[in-house]
Structure 1
Amino acid sequence: MSAYILILDDDADVATAAQLLLRRRYGQVATLNDPAGLPALLARGVPDVVLLDLNFTPGRINGAEGLALMDMLRAQARPPAVIAMTAYADVPLAVEALKRGAGDFITKPWDNARLIAAVAQALARREAARGGGAGSPELMGESQAMRELKALIASVAPTEANVMVLGENGVGKELVARAIHAASRRAAGTLLAVDMGALPESTFESELFGHRKGSFTDAKADRAGRFQAARGGSLFLDEIGNMPLAAQAKLLTALERREVTPIGADKPEAIDVRIISATNLEEARLFDPSVFRADLLFRLNTIVLRVPPLRERREDVPLLLRHYLQIYEAQYQRPARNVAASAMDVLTRHEWPGNVRALRHACERAVILGQGSEYVSADFGLPTALPIARPAAPAAATVAADAAANAASPAAVTVAAGAAANAASPAAVTVAAGAAAAATFAGAAMHAGAPPGATSLDAIERAAIASTLAQFNGNISHAAKTLGISRAALYRKLGKHGI
């Protein structure tokens, strides 16, 4: 993934260790050991994420130096996401760092998986929050569906009721949560977002409830959990539907008792947070006891907000297009251009399976690649015609691909999938299933006038991803596992293909 990460730490060894860990995943990872050099560095370009040590002078452990640097970072035109780091962690310092704008708080020495997940979440939050706040693009719109959603937010926000936000990927569930928090009585406190699907089950209690020094092998200092760090504010539990059942039981206990017990502690600690949760699971699946505990669901869904997909509010597409095009024209210093009437018609009728996130990526592409006096539909890279995959071997895959190529109806696609299912070997099953996955899109492409026999690895990959997402009702974690890639890699591919 292309991202600019800065590690600001006075310990060169610590900074180098983090750089080596992250450099394999991100395009540019820089280190800075002296905070005096930060203004000059920011003048050359603002990072996407800053890993910020809170103490630089030997003997100081109050975090005041780091908090002052956070104010400098927050003053930038496009502030970076900040992850605060310190070897001397306590709850008041964590809360203050979060109030100053930190998206996460990590205690050194860190767990590598924990640090990687924190950076990935910081980048995702920064991407989602482009345009900022309750009036952000994902919440823009004058359609009836959006007016109703905004009215519900205005009614629900001032209460203390727990809220569950439902919606497909890319509709802006986190920004709905931020709008709720901003209009609540807890707005002066922090809104701390946690990707529940990314929390390893082995560290679930430590991450949410905290731990005491010495409570396990790597517990070299006390650490505040997310419940303690969000005290007085709101806790946004994203991807709540991806939690294992065992973890759900632990969360339920905390919510019922309104207290948590840090690992290694002798007594519980009271919690004071409002819970806002979100999931892209279909609502019916939440009532499946093999997927989600009914008693936990009733604790979380006091109020349910359903965010409409973009295809159900097509009248908002022109407004969103103008907004994002203006953003990227300014960012890339390109001239302002109108969208051709024919292109606007195509864009408005498009299904937008990736919702507002996909529309935003399409606008960025159009600004970068568009050459004419107006934007035309081709500038946005919409899949007007997907080619047919025809792998040469094994035989079962060829049969499935041929069936896909000749698909004139959903029944033909089913035949193609059946051919894949009956392939003779695991490898054949994988290839044939990929061909069958492409069948649906290939058939649609042929009806749209695509040239028969066209071949593209990108199209095959896009079709396989789209089919897998459809199979799991948009669940990113399950789709990534089935495809054999990480969640982060899948998100990158979703952006690449505009899904």
Structure 2
Amino acid sequence: MSAYILILDDDADVATAAQLLLRRRYGQVATLSDPAGLPALLARAVPDVVLLDLNFTPGRINGAEGLALLDLLRAQAQPPAVIAMTAYADVPLAVEALKRGAGDFITKPWDNARLIAAVDQALARREAVRGGAAGAPELMGESRAMRELKGLIASVAPTEANVMVLGENGVGKELVARAIHAASRRAAGTLLAVDMGALPESTFESELFGHRKGSFTDARADRAGRFQAARGGSLFLDEIGNMPLAAQAKLLTALERREVTPIGADKPEAIDVRIISATNLEEERLFDPSVFRADLLFRLNTIVIRVPPLRERREDVPLLLRHYLKLYEAQYQRPARHIGAAALDALMRHDWPGNVRALRHACERAAILAQGAEYVISDFGLTTAQALPGASAASGTPGNVPAGVAVASASAADRAPGGTALAAMTGAPAANASAGGDLTLDAIERAAIAATLAQFNGNISHAAKTLGISRAALYRKLGKHGI
């Protein structure tokens, strides 16, 4: 995964340790020990993620210095994702950092897996926000389906009811959660997002409920959980359908009692959060007791909001195209172009299997690669045949897979003796070669990703795990290949 990470910490040993850990995974990792050098660094390039220490002057533990730097970072035109770091697990300070725009916080010394997971999630959140509208994501669309969705959000948001958001990958479930929080009585508090599918069972309680110093190996300091950190605000539980049943039972207990007990603590702590959850599972699967506990479901789905896929609101496609093309033309300093009539017609007829996310990435590609006086369909990485409604289903392969690339079924992957997921899902090269298919590495990778997503019904977490990459890396590859 390629990303620019900045570690801002006055302790050279801490910064170097984090740099060595992260450089192998993300590539460009810089360190800065003197906060005075931050403005000059930002003038050259804004990082994707900043690991920000909250205290720099020896003896100070109130975090004022770090919070001032956080304000500076969040004031950038395209602000980086910020992960606050402190050696003092002070819950009020962590909450204040989250309110000012930090996406997460970790305590030092950290667990390596926890730090990497925090950076992965920060990159995924920044990508979602950047794609929404350059720092101001919103639900766009004037179709009847979108008007009904916005009306439902307006009715539900001022209440304290728990909300479950359902929808396919890329429809904007997190944007719906943010819209609910922004219009709620808790808008002054933080909206803290947690990827439930990425939480290991072994650290589930620590991440959500917190722990006390010495409660287990490497618990070197008290740590607040996500329920405590989101106090007074909203907690967005994303990918809720991917939770193991054992973890579901623990979450249910917390919601029933409205309290959590940090690991190693003697007394429970009351919680004050509104729960917004989301999943891309088909709704009927949530009622399967082998997948999801019915008692937890009834705690979460007081209100159910179903976000329509883009193919059910095609009249919004021109508005979305104009928005994202304008955004990327400005970002990459490319000339403004109109969309040709034939291209617009084809784009409106396309089923957009990846929904708004796929459309956004297609617009980014078009803004970068277009050469003519107006945009044509090939600029968006599609052919006229691919733009036909139902083309994916007719061909028997996931949408946007190049012709001539074989896509194996799940059973074929299961039969592959000792092979990798990539090898199992790309079919026989000889057969493709004889058919004159595209056997470039990009085409093979694209087919493997599309097949894996199809195998898991679009579940990003499961597909990423099978492919051996992070969710954030998979999202980037989806954009790269226009899936």
Structure 1 length-normalised TM: 0.87
CA contact (8 A) 1:133 1:178 kept: no
- Output aligned runs, 1:130-279, within 5 Å: 130=130, 139-279=139-279
Letter in 1 for 2:445: E
Letter in 2 for 1:463: A
What is the CA-CA distance between 1:139 and the residue it aligns to? Answer: 1.3
Per the alignment, residue 401 of structure 2 pairs with none
What is the CA-CA distance between 1:354 and the residue it aligns to? Answer: 1.1
Counterparts of 1:418 and 1:89 in 2: how far apart (Å)?
Answer: 46
CA contact (8 A) 2:421 2:467 kept: no
Counterparts of 2:414 and 2:273 in 1: how far apart (Å)?
Answer: 52
Q: Relative to structure 1, is the Cα distance of residues 489 and 297 closer, same or farther in structure 2, using a 3 angstrom cutoff?
A: same
Q: Secondary structure at the match of 2:462?
A: helix
Per the alignment, residue 68 of structure 1 pairs with 68
Q: Relative to structure 1, is the Cα distance of residues 183 and 133 closer, same or farther in structure 2, using a 3 angstrom cutoff?
A: farther
Q: Relative to structure 1, is the Cα distance of residues 422 and 151 closer, same or farther in structure 2, using a 3 angstrom cutoff?
A: closer
Letter in 1 for 2:477: K
Q: Relative to structure 1, is the Cα distance of residues 108 and 384 closer, same or farther in structure 2, using a 3 angstrom cutoff?
A: farther
CA contact (8 A) 2:422 2:445 kept: no
Counterparts of 1:3 and 1:206 in 2: how far apart (Å)?
Answer: 28
What is the CA-CA distance between 1:462 and the residue it aligns to? Answer: 2.1
Counterparts of 1:375 and 1:201 in 2: how far apart (Å)?
Answer: 48
What is the CA-CA distance between 1:375 and the residue it aligns to? Answer: 1.0
Output one character per residue of 1:477-498: Cα deviation in whole Å (capped at 9) or x when no partner.
Answer: 2223333444333223212211
Counterparts of 1:26 and 1:64 in 2: how far apart (Å)?
Answer: 29
2:466 matches 1:482:
yes
CA contact (8 A) 1:138 1:171 kept: no
Counterparts of 2:406 and 2:33 in 1: how far apart (Å)?
Answer: 60
Quote the sequence identity (%).
88
Per the alignment, residue 453 of structure 1 pairs with 436
Output one character per residue of 1:4-33: Cα deviation in whole Å (capped at 9) or x when no partner.
Answer: 211100001111111111112224211100
CA contact (8 A) 1:212 1:222 kept: yes
Counterparts of 1:484 and 1:71 in 2: how far apart (Å)?
Answer: 36
Per the alignment, residue 468 of structure 1 pairs with 452
CA contact (8 A) 2:12 2:33 kept: yes
Letter in 2 for 1:158: P
CA contact (8 A) 1:167 1:308 kept: yes
Q: Secondary structure at the match of 1:25?
A: helix
CA contact (8 A) 2:240 2:278 kept: yes
CA contact (8 A) 1:134 1:175 kept: no
Counterparts of 1:362 and 1:125 in 2: how far apart (Å)?
Answer: 19
Q: Relative to structure 1, is the Cα distance of residues 497 and 428 closer, same or farther in structure 2, using a 3 angstrom cutoff?
A: closer
What is the CA-CA distance between 1:370 and the residue it aligns to? Answer: 0.8
Per the alignment, residue 409 of structure 1 pairs with none
Per the alignment, residue 382 of structure 1 pairs with 382
Output one character per residue of 1:327-385: Cα deviation in whole Å (capped at 9) or x when no partner.
Answer: 11111111111111111111111111111111111111111111111111111112667
Counterparts of 1:354 and 1:242 in 2: how far apart (Å)?
Answer: 19
What is the CA-CA distance between 1:75 and the residue it aligns to? Answer: 1.5
1:493 to 457, 477, 481: 477
Counterparts of 1:327 and 1:79 in 2: how far apart (Å)?
Answer: 16
Counterparts of 2:473 and 2:3 in 1: how far apart (Å)?
Answer: 14
- Output aligned runs, 1:392-411, within 5 Å: none
1:434 to 418, 426, 431: 426
CA contact (8 A) 1:233 1:273 kept: yes
User: Any unmatched runs of 5+ in structure 1?
Assistant: 387-403, 406-412, 443-450
Range with bigger deviation, 138-147 or 414-423: 414-423
What is the CA-CA distance between 1:468 and the residue it aligns to? Answer: 2.3
Output one character per residue of 1:292-313: Cα deviation in whole Å (capped at 9) or x when no partner.
Answer: 1110010000001111111111
Per the alignment, residue 286 of structure 1 pairs with 286
Counterparts of 1:135 and 1:7 in 2: how far apart (Å)?
Answer: 22
Q: Relative to structure 1, is the Cα distance of residues 288 and 63 closer, same or farther in structure 2, using a 3 angstrom cutoff?
A: same
Counterparts of 2:97 and 2:411 in 1: how far apart (Å)?
Answer: 56
CA contact (8 A) 2:425 2:451 kept: no
Counterparts of 2:350 and 2:138 in 1: how far apart (Å)?
Answer: 17
Structure 2 length-normalised TM: 0.90
Larger Rg, first or second structure (1 or 2):
1
Counterparts of 1:49 and 1:416 in 2: how far apart (Å)?
Answer: 37
Q: Relative to structure 1, is the Cα distance of residues 345 and 251 closer, same or farther in structure 2, using a 3 angstrom cutoff?
A: same
Q: Secondary structure at the match of 1:130?
A: helix
Q: Relative to structure 1, is the Cα distance of residues 351 and 14 closer, same or farther in structure 2, using a 3 angstrom cutoff?
A: same
Counterparts of 2:289 and 2:104 in 1: how far apart (Å)?
Answer: 32
Letter in 1 for 2:292: F
Q: Relative to structure 1, is the Cα distance of residues 426 and 28 closer, same or farther in structure 2, using a 3 angstrom cutoff?
A: closer
Number of residues of Structure 1 aligned to a counterpart in Structure 2? 465
CA contact (8 A) 2:158 2:183 kept: yes
Counterparts of 2:351 and 2:367 in 1: how far apart (Å)?
Answer: 21
Considering only aligned residues, what root-mean-square deviation do their CA atoms show, in Å? 2.8
CA contact (8 A) 2:154 2:183 kept: yes
CA contact (8 A) 2:453 2:459 kept: yes
Letter in 1 for 2:232: G
Counterparts of 1:204 and 1:418 in 2: how far apart (Å)?
Answer: 30
Range with bigger deviation, 123-132 or 349-358: 123-132
What is the CA-CA distance between 1:464 and the residue it aligns to? Answer: 2.8
CA contact (8 A) 1:419 1:432 kept: no
Counterparts of 1:22 and 1:418 in 2: how far apart (Å)?
Answer: 34
Per the alignment, residue 37 of structure 2 pairs with 37
Q: Relative to structure 1, is the Cα distance of residues 260 and 139 closer, same or farther in structure 2, using a 3 angstrom cutoff?
A: same
Per the alignment, residue 89 of structure 1 pairs with 89
What is the CA-CA distance between 1:48 and the residue it aligns to? Answer: 1.5
Counterparts of 1:23 and 1:96 in 2: how far apart (Å)?
Answer: 29
CA contact (8 A) 1:366 1:380 kept: yes
User: Any unmatched runs of 5+ in structure 2?
Assistant: 387-395, 398-404
What is the CA-CA distance between 1:475 and the residue it aligns to? Answer: 0.9
What is the CA-CA distance between 1:137 and the residue it aligns to? Answer: 6.0
What is the CA-CA distance between 1:426 and the residue it aligns to? Answer: 5.0
Counterparts of 2:44 and 2:300 in 1: how far apart (Å)?
Answer: 45
